[in-house]
Amino acid sequence: MINLRNISIQNKLVLIQVLTSVFVLAIFFTGFIMIDIKDYKERKVKSIQSIAKVLAANNVSTIQFQDNEAAKDILSELQNVAPDIVRAVITDTDGNTFAQFSKTKADSSWFDLGNKTFAFEGRHLYVTNPIVNAENELAGHVYIDCELSELEDMKSKKFGIAGISLVVALGCGFLIAFIIQTYVSKRLLFLVEKMKEASETNNYRLVIKDDGKDEIGILIKVYNDLMYQVNESQQRKDEFIGIASHELKTPLTSIKGYIELLNEMETRQPQQIFIQKTKESTAKLEHLIADLLDVSRINSGQLQLNIEEFKMDELIDESIDSISAGIRTDHTIIRNGTFNDLTVKGDRQRIEQVLINLLSNAVKYSPPRSDIFVNSTIKDEQLIVEIKDFGNGIPEEDKEKIFERFYRARNTSVHISGFGLGLYICSDIIKRHNGKIWVESGAKGSSFFFSLPTIKKSIPI
């Protein structure tokens, strides 16, 4: 069954106009045919009743003188006067057949009309008329059975014409509706495309020019006002992030210096434990500030890449060693496959940042005593790196949004720190290297992939 909610507004407008036209025409044709049928029946009743009256008048004497042959001769003339009369019967006052004419097998029950003077039954019209003598006394009855073959032919022709007309009307209605809906839906569809573009590119400066005064024009005006407010809010937020990041960086550097000095001066326990925990928290804060600065640079277009040639295998091994040295749980990082020392062009430090971020996430979201796999493959001159964990996985509805700024999957544990910046930064870095980044996830575990072109397709230095 078609779900109308899933049909585009463009097709809905066409469907509404076409169905409305067809429905109205169907009602018109049906009413027109019904009126024609009714008029035909009324004319036919009057015509057969007139014949019945003539027969009644002409057979008064035949009944009085019991002249059956004369009555039969009168009835036989009906095939010349009205060929569609298939039977005619004259009865006396007792209901006995006096004379009859029949093209079909006679049936004594066919003329039982009760108190009616005529009746339609199937494809036949039955008419009766009394035979009254000069003294105004009842002498008998005339019964006529008229076959309505002409009516059936008329119905067939008219319904055929109506069917053809509806098909033509359907085609014309579709053509006209298609032309009209283009005018009606064009502006609305354009608005939808702009909204999608703004959502996908985070470009909230998109303004639509429209002078319409109708509801769509009002909707476009509201959209423009909303985009202006969102853009202003976004700019203020970006300015705050940039200023706050820079302002926090200076005192954090001093804090780190004092902590290092305190670490050298203080060797007692548990003071040393407190110092190490402070160093860890400071490192987290430093990492967050670095991410905020990167986001600020990305938004302002100031994120620079230092392009050089480097071997991807060496960078992956160094990143794994760096993460493994800091793991305090019993996770094991296992590498499968190599790139055979293939060289790529790019910012080595930024690609390392991507690897460290993805590996750190795999460690954070993986259950204790689980393995993390780093798989390396080459396909279509693309170096593909896969980092696979066995955590809770990512819901299907979160996969497309997980690389957006400040977005975190809904099943993320509240005790796991993060602001949803890491994957956004990774995505931007990989895209700047003409690569791709994506995620595949099931009920158990997730696999993050990124690809980089080999030296033949890398970005120029």
In angstroms, rounded to a whole number, what is the distance separating the alpha carbons of residues 192 and 430? 29
- pLDDT computed for residue 375 by the predictor: 94
Question: Quick one: which of 120, 145, 137, 118 has its CA closest to 129?
Answer: 118
Taking a C-beta distance cutoff of 8 angstroms, is the pair 91, 98 a contact?
yes
ω into residue 270 within 30 of 0, thus cis? yes
DSSP β-ladder status, 97-102 and 138-147: unpaired
Taking a C-beta distance cutoff of 8 angstroms, is the pair 322, 356 a contact?
yes
pLDDT tens by residue, 358-397 = 998 888 888 888 889 999 999 888 999 999 998 888 888 7
- pLDDT computed for residue 325 by the predictor: 77
In angstroms, rounded to a whole number, what is the distance separating the alpha carbons of residues 9 and 438? 32
pLDDT tens by residue, 309-342 = 999 999 999 999 888 876 655 788 999 998 888 8
In angstroms, rounded to a whole number, what is the distance separating the alpha carbons of residues 126 and 191? 68
Question: Quick one: which of 248, 252, 242, 241 has its CA closest to 282?
Answer: 252
Assign 441 to helix, strand or coil.
strand
Question: Quick one: which of 308, 321, 447 has its CA closest to 384?
Answer: 447
Buried b (16+ CB within 10 A) or exposed e, 202-213: eebeeebebeee
- pLDDT computed for residue 162 by the predictor: 84
Amino acid type, 374: V
The full set of domain ranges for the chain reads: 4-155, 229-300, 307-453
Taking a C-beta distance cutoff of 8 angstroms, is the pair 26, 166 a contact?
yes
Amino acid type, 137: E
* Paired tokens of 379: 């396909």
Integer Rg of the chain from CA: 47
For 379, phi and psi rounded to 5 degrees?
-150, 125
Topology annotation, domain 307-453: Heat Shock Protein 90 (3.30.565)
* Paired tokens of 269: 């326990």
Residues of the chain with pLDDT under 50: 1, 108, 413-415, 457-461
- pLDDT computed for residue 385 by the predictor: 94
CATH architecture of 229-300: Orthogonal Bundle (1.10)
Question: Quick one: which of 436, 416, 419, 418 has its CA closest to 427?
Answer: 436
Collect all residues with Cβ–Cβ distance below 8 Å to 170 and sequence separation of at least 6.
Answer: 18, 21, 22
- pLDDT computed for residue 418 by the predictor: 58
Class of domain 4-155: alpha beta
Distance between first and last Cα of the chain: 57
In angstroms, rounded to a whole number, what is the distance separating the alpha carbons of residues 442 and 393? 6
Query: How many contiguous H segments (helices) and E segments (strands) does the chain have?
Result: 11, 12
In angstroms, rounded to a whole number, what is the distance separating the alpha carbons of residues 316 and 335? 9
